[in-house]
Structure formats: structure tokens, C-alpha cells
């Protein structure tokens, strides 16, 4: 049955009994958010924001240049209620994660495939300078005498989904928005947010406003431990316990706490030290020994007086996913320098390329997924049922350069139900619906290769939530009709000669945005952090 057919919101302030009335009248349906009074809303807002500030569910405040030693934070944008996700769909997404972990590790190690789809001679790299620049660094290293000296690669992934409930369907099913292979963020803050909703439940029982809000319906989220285990697995595989993990970060990053929680977890649970550097800093501090290929970073000795340089086991990129991060051409050389070393890259350049939207589209072509799941060169890890399950999460996609003008003609015809995506990450790059035809009018023919068309997911209507943002001019919670996006984290360590893939699912994230917003990034300011109530 369609669990997510929701009645229009009852106004704030109606007594709780109104919920039962809605429930009874609508049979299977229910409303979200449940009814609460103004004073209950005020209480929840106070408890939520105070919990967030106390538990590091925070950002650095907006500033042109972040201070070298920050003194204040603001709470991350958040929802007061967890958002409903059907239990079966949540279980499915969790189970799919291991399949996706292995699938993308196979994509990242298929050099011919990546050259063809993303390369500078045949693929996206021909027309997209960013993709081309990354691919060229990779190709240069493959072609040098030493080749790629570190076969192992680490991915910290996030597979993003939305519920798809087209008109007439009797159930909502998860459809994949995209698969992220670089800088997948909000893992640790998402754990804090789930804890915050659990706390609201334990402390207030949400005033008994909904029978769905029970202890058992709020799933545990252990992203911090899960993601740190992935990084620790790479560190262990590198095999030098005194080495450190390098976090490559953006200057003036506001989402530092999401990263710091991983750093603290690595130190506390795995005794692994982390250092953080920007591309600019690395240009001066990174050195790769020409004989051993060991990556060393010179440290600011005033911070760590006993060490002048440290060996790096693993390079974890929280920067480098957008061309804006490469403010000088030399930053691509710095990326190449890191990639040339023995340190395990998270992600390697090929794994970053594997996360391209064009790859996502290519996988939907007939026979491509079959080849990655059942190809002779792979160990038998997949079943025919896995194939059906993976494919069931895909929307229709095609490339704008497919079939001469066909791809573009089809995009014009179906514009109202489409999104066009370039090879970019981080939100704010897509073209939606009525903006598509004028965009196609101006898109040079050769640039079509860089774009894919994707059918829009039809999200369930009528869901709402209370959204709370700090410093946005509004005071307190704002009630809005919303759309939620579920992300499943996972990691994979792979690339060794034996073809083994060590991998795990690693928790989840819910981002919720106002219904009218096409885009969904929290960092880009479109969404709030949320969590799950299973229904
Ligand atoms: P990015 O890598 O920039 O995050 P996404 O593919 O995730 O790119 O697109 C950004 C946002 O656009 C998503 O978070 C989602 O809100 C929206 N979006 C993307 N694809 C679809 C789709 N097929 N249907 C509905 N919304 C989509
Ligand atoms: Mg992305
Ligand atoms: Mg996204």
C-alpha cells in the first residue's frame, strides 16, 4: 500500500486529537509533520538547537575568510521531525550498498571503460576541461616508467536516493539520484542529527503527536565509526603504523566539524593521526621520494615540534571535486603528485571519474551492468537478483550526444519531466524542466558529450516538516512542504592483484528541502539535515 499518501497539513496549533481524526478519515494515510501546538513547537525548537550546539551538529559561521582559530559556531540547518521512509525501502537501500560498493570498485579498475567514457581522447574529457585535466594526470602516471605504484584505492561512497511515487503507483520505491565517489559529506553530522531526533523523542516523546514516533522506528546511525573504519582499513593495508592520514581540505571550509569527527574517531578508536592541508599548502609541503615513492608532508614545526615531516598512508579528499578547488593549474599537478605516490588515494583519480554522471548513465545502457556484474574476469559475487535490484533503482537516462540529434530532440520533448546534468559535484549545476529548451538552444553541439538527461523522480506529495536554520533572518522553525533525499554511505578498499574488495555499508544521511527547490545540497544552502522515522 502507498504508505506515503499524505493528507494536507492541519494547521499548527490544532489539538493532538486532530491527528487521529486525519488518520481515521484517510485510512492508510497520515499527515507529516504531526500536529503540535505553538508552545510544543517552541519547546522542540529550543531542545533541538541546544542539542545541536552542544553536540557539534554545527558549522562555522559565514565569513569571507575563516579565522585560523575559530571561536564560534552556528547549528547546522536541521528539521525538527525525522522524515518518514518505508521500512522496506530503507532495508533495500542498506542491502544494495554492498552491491554498489563492489560495482563501483569494478568501474574504477576498468581502465578501457573509463578512457572511453571519461577520457580526453574519446570521452567527456574532450569537452569538459575539468574532467580532461584529471584524466590527463592519471594517464601521465600510467604512461611513466614506474606506472601507478599503489594499486590499492579507497572509496568512501554515498549512494543518494529519493522516493519515487508516480501517479497511479500503489507504492513508493527508491530511485537513485546519483552515486558519489569523492568528498561524500555529512556522514558524521547526520549521525548527530539522528541522535538529536532520538533525544527529542526520549525527552518529550514528541508530545505523543504521532504513533509512528516510537523508539523502534528511529534507526541507529553509526556513520562516524563506519567511515573511520574504511579509512583505517586503508591505513592498515598501507602497513606503516606511524604514518598519518592526510585530509585534503578547502580553504575557508565551513563544514569542518563533519570532517573533524572523523579525525577524532581515527585517533580515539584506531590511534591514527590526521593532518589537514589545502592544495595551496600541499604545493609547498608535499614530497614524493623518487626511489621509494613514499609521500611525505613537511609540517609546520611550531605545531608539532618533534616532527619535521610525516609519512602519509592515505589521502582523503574533502576538496578537489570541483574545478573551483583548482584555483591554479599547478593544483592539478599537486593532485598528480599525490596520486604518483605510494599513499592510498580516497578517491584515486579513476575512482573520482567513476563517480561521473556520464558513468551513471553509461551503466544503464544494455549489457553494461551485466558486464560489470558477471564478466569473466571477476569473482562471482553477484546473482541475477542483484542485477534486478540494482537496476530497479535507476531512472531513465541518456546522453545528449546519443544518436546524432536524437538525444537533444528527446530532451526537448520530455523537458517537463527531466533534469540535465553536467560532470560536476556539490550541487547547483543542473538544469531543470522549463529551463531545458532555452539551455539547449545555446549549448554548443560538441559540449553535448558532457551532459546527460535524467527523468525526474516523482517524489511523494504532501509531506512537510519544520525546518530550522541559524542566521537566516528567520527566527525559529519554518513549516514547509518538503522532499527528502536518503543517502547510504559505504566504503570499499580494492585494486590489489587478487581482485579482492573489502567493503562495508556505513550508515546514512537524510537531507530535506523545501518542495519548490530543484536542488538539494545542504552545503549549498538548499537543504536541512534530517533523519528517518520508519513507517
Ligand atoms: P550533485 O552531484 O551536484 O549533488 P545531483 O545529481 O545529486 O548532483 O543533483 C543535485 C540535486 O538535484 C539532488 O540532490 C536532487 O535534489 C536533484 N535531482 C537530481 N536528479 C534528480 C532527479 N532525477 N529527480 C529529481 N530530482 C533530482
Ligand atoms: Mg554528487
Ligand atoms: Mg547530489
For residues 153 and 108, is the Cβ–Cβ distance under 8 A? Answer: yes
- Which alpha helices (H) appear in 271-328, and where do they start and end? 279-285
443 and 500 co-located in one domain = no
For residues 152 and 109, is the Cβ–Cβ distance under 8 A? Answer: no
Question: Which residue is catalytic, options 92, 106, 158, 244?
Answer: 158
End residue of a domain, out of 426, 456, 486: 456
What's the chain's Rg over C-alpha atoms? 23
Is 421 a pocket residue for ligand 1 (Cβ < 6 Å)?
yes
Residues 6+ apart with CB under 8 A from 65: 252
266 and 171 co-located in one domain = yes
Q: For a substitution probing ligand 1, which of 131, 159, 176, 178 has the most ligand atoms within 8 Å of its CB? A: 178
3-state secondary structure of 532: strand
Per-chain residues with Cβ under 5 A from ion ligand 2? 178, 180, 425
Query: What is the DSSP code string of 363-393?
Result: HTSTTHHHHHHH-TTS-S---HHHHHHHHTT
Burial of 23 (0-12, 13-18, 19+ CB in 10 A): middle
3-state secondary structure of 344: strand
Mean pLDDT of 15-42: 63
375 and 413 co-located in one domain = no
77 and 181 co-located in one domain = yes
Per-residue pLDDT tens for 304-320?
A: 556 689 999 999 999 99
ipTM of the complex: 0.99
d(CA 463, CA 33): 7
Per-residue pLDDT tens for 316-358?
A: 999 999 999 999 999 999 999 999 999 999 999 999 999 999 9
End residue of a domain, out of 456, 490, 506: 456
Q: Which three cell numbers stand for residue 223?
A: 556513520
Burial of 485 (0-12, 13-18, 19+ CB in 10 A): buried
For residues 140 and 333, is the Cβ–Cβ distance under 8 A? Answer: no
Q: Is residue 461 part of a domain?
A: no
Q: Is residue 199 part of a domain?
A: no
289 and 422 co-located in one domain = no
Q: How many domains is the chain built from?
A: 2
CA distances from 441 to 318, 409, 436 (A): 35, 11, 9
For residues 497 and 480, is the Cβ–Cβ distance under 8 A? Answer: no
- Which alpha helices (H) appear in 156-222, and where do they start and end? 187-204
End residue of a domain, out of 456, 488, 505: 456
265 and 333 co-located in one domain = yes
Is 185 noted as a catalytic residue in this protein? yes
Per-chain residues with Cβ under 5 A from ion ligand 3? 178
Ligand 1 atom 20 nearest Cα: 177
For residues 236 and 269, is the Cβ–Cβ distance under 8 A? Answer: no
- The CATH number of the domain holding residue 403 is 3.30.1490.50
Place of cell 571519474: 353
Judged against a pLDDT cut of 70, whether residue 475 lies above it is answered with no
- The CATH number of the domain holding residue 145 is 3.40.50.1760
Q: Is residue 390 part of a domain?
A: yes
Is 158 a pocket residue for ligand 1 (Cβ < 6 Å)?
no
DSSP state of 340: T
Per-residue pLDDT tens for 151-164?
A: 999 999 999 999 99
Ligand 3: distance of its center to the CA of 372 in Å? 24
Beta bridge partners of 530: 510
Is 426 a pocket residue for ligand 1 (Cβ < 6 Å)?
yes
Q: Which three cell numbers stand for residue 327?
A: 584555483
- Residue range of the domain that includes 71: 60-189+219-395+473-534
CA distances from 17 to 13, 41, 83, 219, 300 (A): 11, 16, 21, 27, 63
322 and 434 co-located in one domain = no
Q: Is residue 48 part of a domain?
A: no
Q: Which three cell numbers stand for residue 328?
A: 591554479
DSSP state of 42: H
Per-residue pLDDT tens for 43-66?
A: 999 999 999 999 999 999 999 999
Closest CA to 449 of 357, 532, 379, 333: 357
Is 425 noted as a catalytic residue in this protein? yes
Q: How confident is the model at residue 515 (pLDDT cuts 50, 70, 90)?
A: confident
Question: Which residue is catalytic, options 120, 178, 263, 281?
Answer: 178
Closest CA to 94 of 265, 234, 222: 222
Q: With a threshold of 0.80, does the pTM exceed it?
A: yes
Is 42 noted as a catalytic residue in this protein? no
Q: Is residue 9 part of a domain?
A: no
Q: Is residue 261 part of a domain?
A: yes
3-state secondary structure of 198: helix
Ligand 3: distance of its center to the CA of 517 in Å? 13
Mean pLDDT of 271-282: 97
Judged against a pLDDT cut of 70, whether residue 473 lies above it is answered with no
Is 397 a pocket residue for ligand 1 (Cβ < 6 Å)?
no
291 and 346 co-located in one domain = yes
Residues 6+ apart with CB under 8 A from 131: 118, 120, 123, 124, 125, 353, 356, 423, 450
Backbone region of residue 68 per phi and psi (left: phi > 0; alpha: psi in -120 to 50; beta: other values): alpha
Question: What pLDDT is stored for residue 12 in this prediction?
Answer: 32
Secondary structure in 3-state letters for 451-494: CEEEECCCCCCCEEEEEECCCCCCCCEEEEEEEEEEEEEEEEEE
Per-residue pLDDT tens for 175-222?
A: 999 999 999 999 999 999 999 999 999 999 999 999 999 999 999 999
Is 425 a pocket residue for ligand 1 (Cβ < 6 Å)?
yes
Average pLDDT of the chain?
92
Q: What percent of the chain has pLDDT over 90?
A: 85
411 and 428 co-located in one domain = yes
Is 373 a pocket residue for ligand 1 (Cβ < 6 Å)?
no
Is 454 a pocket residue for ligand 1 (Cβ < 6 Å)?
yes
DSSP state of 32: B
115 and 156 co-located in one domain = yes
Question: What pLDDT is stored for residue 25 in this prediction?
Answer: 30
Q: Is residue 430 part of a domain?
A: yes
Question: Which residue is catalytic, options 79, 105, 183, 185?
Answer: 185
d(CA 337, CA 287): 8
406 and 312 co-located in one domain = no
5-9, 220-224, 410-414, 480-484 — which is least confidently predicted? Answer: 5-9
Q: Which three cell numbers stand for residue 185?
A: 559529506
391 and 410 co-located in one domain = no
Ligand 1: distance of its center to the CA of 397 in Å? 13
For residues 166 and 459, is the Cβ–Cβ distance under 8 A? Answer: no
Judged against a pLDDT cut of 70, whether residue 26 lies above it is answered with no
Question: What pLDDT is stored for residue 523 in this prediction?
Answer: 62
Q: Is residue 502 part of a domain?
A: yes
Amino acid at each position: 500500500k502507498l504508505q506515503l499518501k499524505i493528507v494536507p497539513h492541519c494547521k499548527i496549533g490544532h489539538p493532538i486529537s486532530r491527528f487521529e481524526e486525519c488518520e481515521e478519515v484517510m485510512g492508510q494515510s497520515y499527515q507529516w509533520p504531526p500536529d503540535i501546538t505553538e508552545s510544543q513547537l517552541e519547546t522542540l525548537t529550543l531542545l533541538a538547537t541546544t542539542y545541536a550546539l552542544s553536540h557539534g551538529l554545527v558549522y562555522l559561521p559565514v565569513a569571507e575568510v575563516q579565522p585560523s582559530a575559530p571561536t564560534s559556531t552556528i547549528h547546522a540547518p536541521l528539521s525538527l521531525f525525522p522524515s518518514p521512509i518505508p521500512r522496506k525501502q530503507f532495508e533495500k537501500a542498506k542491502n544494495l550498498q554492498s552491491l554498489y560498493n563492489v560495482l563501483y570498485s569494478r568501474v574504477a579498475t576498468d581502465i578501457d571503460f573509463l578512457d572511453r567514457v571519461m577520457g580526453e581522447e574519446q570521452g567527456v574529457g574532450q569537452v569538459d576541461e575539468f574532467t580532461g585535466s584529471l584524466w590527463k594526470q592519471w594517464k601521465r602516471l600510467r604512461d611513466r616508467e614506474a606506472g601507478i605504484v599503489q594499486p590499492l584505492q579507497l572509496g568512501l561512497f554515498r549512494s543518494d536516493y529519493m522516493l519515487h511515487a508516480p501517479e497511479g503507483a500503489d507504492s513508493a520505491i527508491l530511485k537513485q539520484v546519483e552515486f558519489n565517489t569523492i568528498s561524500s559529506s555529512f556522514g558524521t553530522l547526520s549521525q548527530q542529527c539522528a541522535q538529536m531526533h532520538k533525544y527529542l523523542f526520549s525527552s518529550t516523546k514528541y508530545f505523543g503527536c504521532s504513533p509512528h514516533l516510537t523508539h523502534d522506528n528511529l534507526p541507529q546511525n553509526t556513520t562516524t565509526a563506519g567511515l573511520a573504519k574504511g579509512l583505517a582499513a586503508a591505513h592498515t593495508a598501507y602497513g606503516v603504523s606511524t604514518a598519518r592520514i592526510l585530509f585534503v581540505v578547502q580553504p575557508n571550509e565551513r563544514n569542518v566539524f563533519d570532517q573533524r569527527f572523523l579525525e577524532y574517531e581515527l585517533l580515539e578508536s584506531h590511534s591514527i593521526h590526521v593532518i589537514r592541508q589545502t592544495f595551496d599548502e600541499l604545493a609547498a609541503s608535499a614530497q614524493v621520494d623518487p626511489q621509494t615513492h613514499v609521500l611525505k608532508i613537511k609540517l609546520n614545526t611550531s605545531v608539532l615540534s618533534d616532527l619535521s615531516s610525516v609519512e602519509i598512508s592515505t589521502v582523503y579528499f574533502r576538496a578537489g571535486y570541483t574545478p573551483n578547488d583548482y584555483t591554479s593549474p599547478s593544483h592539478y599537478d599537486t593532485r598528480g603528485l599525490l596520486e604518483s605516490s605510494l599513499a592510498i588515494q580516497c578517491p584515486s583519480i579513476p575512482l573520482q571519474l567513476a563517480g561521473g554522471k556520464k558513468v551513471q548513465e553509461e551503466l544503464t545502457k544494455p549489457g553494461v551492468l551485466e558486464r560489470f556484474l558477471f564478466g569473466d574476469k571477476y569473482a562471482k559475487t553477484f546473482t541475477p537478483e542483484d542485477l534486478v535490484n540494482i537496476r530497479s533503482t535507476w531512472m531513465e537516462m541518456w546522453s545528449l550526444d546519443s544518436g546524432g540529434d536524437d538525444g537533444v530532440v528527446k530532451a526537448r520533448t520530455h523537458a517537463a519531466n527531466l533534469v540535465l546534468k553536467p560532470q560536476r559535484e556539490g550541487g547547483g549545476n543542473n538544469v531543470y524542466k522549463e529551463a531545458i529548451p532555452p539551455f539547449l538552444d545555446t549549448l554548443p553541439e560538441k559540449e553535448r558529450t558532457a551532459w546527460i538527461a535524467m527523468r525526474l523522480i516523482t517524489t511523494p506529495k504532501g509531506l512537510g516538516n519544520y525546518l530550522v536554520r541559524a542566521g537566516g533572518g528567520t527566527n525559529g522553525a519554518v513549516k514547509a512542504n518538503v522532499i527528502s533525499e536518503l543517502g547510504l554511505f559505504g566504503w570499499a578498499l580494492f585494486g590489489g592483484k587478487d581482485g579482492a574488495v573489502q567493503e562495508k555499508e556505513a550508515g546514512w544521511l537524510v537531507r530535506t528541502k523545501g518542495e519548490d527547490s530543484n536542488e538539494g545540497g545542504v552545503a549549498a544552502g538548499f537543504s536541512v539535515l534530517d533523519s528517518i522515522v520508519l513507517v
